[in-house]
Amino acid sequence: MIKHYLKMIWKRRGKNAFLVAELILSFLVVFGVLAFAMKQFQKLKIPEGFITENIYNIYPSLNVDDLDSLEFKTKREQFKREILALEDIRNATFATEVTPYGNSNWSTGNGDGDENGFKYNTDYILCDQDFTDVWNTPIKEGNFFKEEDLVGKYVPIAVNQLFVDKFLKDTTALGFAFEMNGNDVIISGIFDHFKYQGKFGDETPMALVPISTRWNNVGLLTVATHANANEEIVKKMYDITARITKNFDFWIEKVEVVRKKKNKAAWIPIIGLFSLAGFLLINISMGLFGILRYNISRRKPEIGLRKAMGAHAGHIRSQFVGEMVILTSLAIIIGLIIAIQAPLLDVLQMENLIYWKAIFLTLVIIYGIVIACSIIPSSQAAAIEPAVSLHEE
């Protein structure tokens, strides 16, 4: 049966070549779009691990020559104290400019590992003791450091679960000490997530490190307000910042607004690609429909003859659908050979599971469209009366 179909397809190879080429390309395009989208959606499963409502970032321009000086520290503390004294302020924290949706990241590591064979590479944020409270990132094991903890030999830090999973699988993470940026640090707290590069960003290992006397270059004050605070609070923060920094070269942003911008930027390519792929598929299905309808009208005598020889309507229908399915399979085999290069060469850098899911979904879509487009014309063909079509001939 299939051999017979193949023979018929081969006889019309000139016309079928373009159809196959079109199907190969659409297979690849749909696969590409789905793989990209699924990879992006996969990232949505990991929660961000912080809140963004009623949070403001102040980027002050602290004009001090010596960042390690006492003057700088006093100024910083006065700044925070005055902000906290405002009405409706929940809490505030000093940190480096590595902040959610902020486009900057600091990372550190120890290259090939220390003498104990411990090797790490992590993003980090320098912050004060109120950081987890402001961002509402709960510490699930251990404690977040307090100002008074900073006197010992080891600097207490907090890391995320990914850090533990990646670098400290075989030991107890809590209480683990190592060297970081030239300081002896000890893990005193573990939190679940802090995915600061956006909903569609990758989660990276993350360490929250206190602003110790040695590391002082913080450029950001993050302020959390109560839900009932009105917009005037921004003006009040503005006035305080201007008075303390003695210049106007600073910037306050609402984190919720930045979050929306960042997410919009991530959605644009996904929606754009989907609409392009959708348009291509509609285009292709209408084309297929037209071609089949015409083919059937051309092959009326053949159908009439088959029916006269005793073929059922079902036979005719399955012949036309079958021919299309075989043609599609041919295209898909070629498409698969090309698509399979991606994981072999590891160009897409994605998990194998997503890759196979994307291929499977693509197969469903392409076969679905082809079958849907061929069913109506072939039903028409099956309804042809042998007497009529043979008479025409």
Least distance between another protein and beta carbon 181 (Å): 11
Nearer to another protein, 52 or 136 (CB): 52
Phi/psi of residue 187, nearest 5 degrees:
-80, 115
Residue 54 token pair: 């009623």
Nearer to another protein, 138 or 272 (CB): 272
Give the three-state DSSP class for 168.
coil
Least distance between another protein and beta carbon 253 (Å): 8
Nearer to another protein, 113 or 287 (CB): 287
d(CA 81, CA 76): 9
Amino acid at 145: F
> Which has the closest alpha carbon to 135: 55, 204, 235?
55
Nearer to another protein, 2 or 337 (CB): 337
Least distance between another protein and beta carbon 65 (Å): 8
Long-range contacts of 278-286 (CB under 8 A, 24+ apart): 280/26, 280/29, 280/30, 281/26, 281/30, 281/365, 281/369, 284/22, 284/23, 284/26, 284/369, 285/369, 285/372, 285/373
Nearer to another protein, 65 or 148 (CB): 65
- Contact residues toward another protein (CB under 8 A) are 14-15, 18-19, 21-22, 25-26, 29, 59, 61, 63, 65, 231, 234-235, 238, 242, 247-253, 261, 268, 276, 279-280, 282-284, 286-287, 289-291, 293-295, 298, 392
Describe the crossing of helices 2-11 and 313-339 by its angle, rounded to 10 degrees: 70
Residue 111 token pair: 């290259």
DSSP assigned state of 202: P
Least distance between another protein and beta carbon 257 (Å): 10
Nearer to another protein, 176 or 289 (CB): 289
Nearer to another protein, 14 or 152 (CB): 14
Least distance between another protein and beta carbon 321 (Å): 18
Least distance between another protein and beta carbon 324 (Å): 13
Least distance between another protein and beta carbon 201 (Å): 14
Q: How many CB atoms lie within 10 A of CB 145?
A: 24
Least distance between another protein and beta carbon 347 (Å): 13
Least distance between another protein and beta carbon 138 (Å): 32
**CB-CB contact of 186 with 176 (8 Å):** yes
d(CA 200, CA 62): 33
Nearer to another protein, 20 or 158 (CB): 20
d(CA 103, CA 196): 9
Residue 369 token pair: 């469209």
Q: How many CB atoms lie within 10 A of CB 75?
A: 18
Residue 161 token pair: 């679960």
Nearer to another protein, 311 or 348 (CB): 348
Least distance between another protein and beta carbon 300 (Å): 11
d(CA 268, CA 172): 43
Cβ-based neighbours of 393, under 8 Å, separated by 6 or more: 300, 301, 304
Nearer to another protein, 186 or 280 (CB): 280
